[in-house]
A = this chain, B = another copy of it.
Amino acid sequence: MKRIGILTSGGDAPGMNAAIRAVVRKGIFDGIEVYGINYGFAGLVAGDIRRLDIADVGDKIQRGGTFLYSARYPEFATEEGQLKGIEQLKKFGIEGLVVIGGDGSYHGAMALTKRGFPAVGIPGTIDNDIPGTDFTIGFDTAINTVLESIDRIRDTATSHVRTFVIEVMGRGAGDIALWSGVAGGADEIIIPEHDFDMVNVAQRIREGRDRGKKHCLIILAEGVMGGNEFADKLSEHGDFHTRVSILGHVVRGGSPSARDRVLASKFGSYAVELLKAGKGGQCIGMLDNQVVSADIVDTLENHKHKPDLSLYDLNQEISF
């Protein structure tokens, strides 16, 4: 393989640039040319493609977002879109493709592979909701960003003896809420993967108040319900001076954490090794602290991401 392409797709995540950099540098180190595709699958179909050199990825490892831009492009689910994409790749002499992104990106990579074009998926999303890996690129940065906000809100909650409902991102997954909640010393963590009972929540807030606890922080995954809706329902069980804070897109950006940059560098380098070895149709992951890859079709069809629910039980025992 003498020439590979790379694109980012779906929501951006801190560390995507570090992964692109690793792919480009590792490719060049191995004698492979790397071509960058702008705007994800949309740019692939449109032929918005250019060669990337060492200098193009210089001074990029610390940058949030993705300098190849991203875009949602549902049209790539069609045969027409996929054939057009492969045509463009061939026009540029590209023989393998690295796709960085989430669920939708993986489906794009899978579709290309099924049509005979080798593609490798790298999990890049703040939500950590991708099967085949314990951690996705961007998750570590996101939980630290959320944590900073929790720490700030704790100042105000303590100063005013208030209850705060902090809604965090995560789409259908509770990982961001779980990790940032444990790290933030949250009194309650509400996630889609675990039941909760509003009566108990209210009861525990009352017990904390009675013990002299100054603040109460509830971390709520957006996949359960919205923060204002939750606060309304909570208010049916008592008046807790509740305020709502919705941590939105702030959490997607920012300079990636050390972990995310290292993870991205490992994933990017490994993606090049896979393609060099002629292996397409793979998705990369970190499982039990090891970089691994697996069949992308099998991973998408037969595996489901699960958060580390031991964190939920842990929090019940140490944050009261």
| Chain A residues packing against B (C-beta within 8 Å) | 8, 11-12, 14, 18, 21-22, 25-26, 29-30, 54-55, 58-59, 61-66, 69-71, 134, 140, 143-149, 151-156, 158-161, 164, 179-180, 182-185, 211-214, 243-255, 257-259, 261-262, 265-266, 268-269, 287-290, 310-311, 314, 317-320
Query: Contact: B245 with A245, CB < 8 Å?
Result: no
Query: Contact: A12 with B58, CB < 8 Å?
Result: no
Known: A59-B158, A154-B62, A289-B288. A266 touches B183 (CB 8 A): no
Pick from B62, B134, B211: contact of A54, CB under 8 Å: B211
Query: Contact: B320 with A70, CB < 8 Å?
Result: no
Pick from B18, B61, B152: contact of A64, CB under 8 Å: B152
State the Cβ distance, A259 to closest chain B Cβ, in Å.
7
Known: A70-B159, A258-B179. A317 touches B151 (CB 8 A): no
Known: A246-B246, A250-B152, A258-B143. A159 touches B318 (CB 8 A): no
Query: Contact: A54 with B248, CB < 8 Å?
Result: no
Pick from B63, B183, B250, B269: contact of A317, CB under 8 Å: B269
Query: Contact: A318 with B265, CB < 8 Å?
Result: yes
Query: Contact: B255 with A183, CB < 8 Å?
Result: no
